[in-house]
Structure 1
Amino acid sequence: MSEEQAKGIREHMEVIGADGVHVGTVDGVEGDRIKLTKNDSDAGFEQESHHGHHHYLSLGLVAGVEGDKVRLSASGANAAELFIEEA
């Protein structure tokens, strides 16, 4: 993902996997990562330990920005496995 494309990622955009599955909602971009909102960052997880935490995704997973959606190169399930939790 180019720096120019990363600038197109805005708060409240929907993050979807390559398969169109909802992964989360953008809270912001921090460095080389997308920060997902707490309310919506438990997508793909059944375990309680993932609820209520910010999760991050590498900008390297972004395939493109289409309107108000950030499309990832990984499927929704694979992207959920790649979440980075806040410390």
Structure 2
Amino acid sequence: MISASDIKDHMEVKSADGQHIGTVDYLEGSESIKLTKSDSPDGEHHHLIPLEWVDHVDAQVHLSMTASDVRSKWTHLPN
């Protein structure tokens, strides 16, 4: 199981297929990662990724899902 304390602000988030998903802004509660909006595909919105999608953490946060799956299922936050 991944420890939320392993995930730090400004870490890169990568999908299972090696694509850049975003950059950690901060942990949203104890269950989600909030990505920076400046690194968002639209550059205007934050996105949330559940911690349960995290496969492992080293210098980066690695997800267990492909980039297309992540982008189709993440939570889009309004401004």
TM-score between the two structures when normalised by the length of structure 1? 0.81
User: Identity of paired residues, percent?
Assistant: 43
TM-score between the two structures when normalised by the length of structure 2? 0.88
List gaps (5 residues or longer) in structure 1. 43-49
Displacement after TM superposition at 1:83 (Å): 1.3
How do 1:6-85 and structure 2 match up within 5 A? 6-31=4-29, 32-42=31-41, 50-67=42-59, 69-85=60-76
Aligned length: 77
* 3-state SS of 1:71 partner: strand
Question: Once superposed, what is the RMSD of the aligned Cα atoms?
Answer: 1.3
Which structure 1 residue ranges, 4+ long, deviate > 4 Å from structure 2? none
List gaps (5 residues or longer) in structure 2. none
